[in-house]
Amino acid sequence: MYRELLADATFHNLLLACDRDLAEEARAGRCSLCGGVLHSATYPRKPRGRPRSVSRQLGPEHDRRFSFCCAVDGCRSRATPPSLRFLGPKVYLATIVVLVSIVLHGASPKRVRRMHEAVGVDRRTVERWRRWWCDSFTATPFWQIARAAFMPPVEHECLPGSLIERFSGGDADRLIAMLRFLGPITGGSHAR
């Protein structure tokens, strides 16, 4: 399923449209420090993991992170809205960080090698993500509060698979619901 989704330009355009909506919301909310007007201050990202065949069909806006800068002199603080495409500073698409972590949970070395050939993610990266899900993600103030919404509790050792299965719908619906759910940890101070 991950191969089909990743190779589908419509899927990437849907994520972009979601990000646009989130950006509009953030802009309308004004500066959180001084209430000033926010000006667009997008910045470039070079997300890894998107097949070249699909990248060719996508516009340059797919490689830009929506972000804003307060227009008030002396404040100029940056506001980066949540994103379904970029998971904080991670260089791979958020979709990849979720799907590859699920697919390769407890996978054989052979399977990891095949994934490396398909999307360029190596074993060390997969292991780093595993630790991130189990240790860093579970320690975020966001998860400390959000976890209470799940009963029975989500098993931390099986993240992110144990979390995505709590959302309903088909594979793509669940993935998008999960990316949306992760929104609060994708922007703000996490983005640079």
The closest of 39, 43, 137 to 87, measured between CA atoms, is 137
In this complex, which beta carbon is closest to Zn ion, that of residue 168 or of residue 189? 189
Count of residues engaged in binding Zn ion, rule: CB under 5 A: 7
Candidates 1, 37, 75, 139; binder of Zn ion (CB under 5 A) is 75
To the nearest whole angstrom, how small is the minimum distance from the Cβ of residue 67 to Zn ion? 14
Q: Which stretch binds Zn ion (CB under 5 A): 2-10, 12-20, 68-76, 131-139?
A: 68-76
Tell me how far apart the alpha carbons of residues 156 and 162 are, in angstroms, rounded to a whole number. Answer: 8
Q: Is the dihedral of CA 43, 15, 157, 3 positive or negative?
A: negative
Going by the DSSP 8-state scheme, the letter that residue 116 receives in this structure is H
In this complex, which beta carbon is closest to Zn ion, that of residue 68 or of residue 143? 68
To the nearest whole angstrom, how small is the minimum distance from the Cβ of residue 121 to Zn ion? 38
In this complex, which beta carbon is closest to Zn ion, that of residue 30 or of residue 156? 30
Could you count the other beta carbons within 10 Å of the beta carbon of residue 93?
25
To the nearest whole angstrom, how small is the minimum distance from the Cβ of residue 188 to Zn ion? 14
Tell me how far apart the alpha carbons of residues 38 and 133 are, in angstroms, rounded to a whole number. Answer: 33
Residue 8, sorted as left (phi over 0), alpha (psi -120 to 50) or beta, turns out to be beta
Residues 3-42 that bind Zn ion (CB under 5 A): 31, 33-34, 36
Candidates 7, 54, 58, 72; binder of Zn ion (CB under 5 A) is 72
To the nearest whole angstrom, how small is the minimum distance from the Cβ of residue 20 to Zn ion? 22
Q: Which stretch binds Zn ion (CB under 5 A): 18-26, 59-67, 73-81, 153-161?
A: 73-81
What is the residue whose two structure tokens read 């791979």? 92
C-alpha distances (whole Å) from 18 to each of 12, 74, 113, 117, 174 are 10, 32, 33, 30, 15
To the nearest whole angstrom, how small is the minimum distance from the Cβ of residue 174 to Zn ion? 37
Binding region for Zn ion (CB under 5 A): 31, 33-34, 36, 70, 72, 75
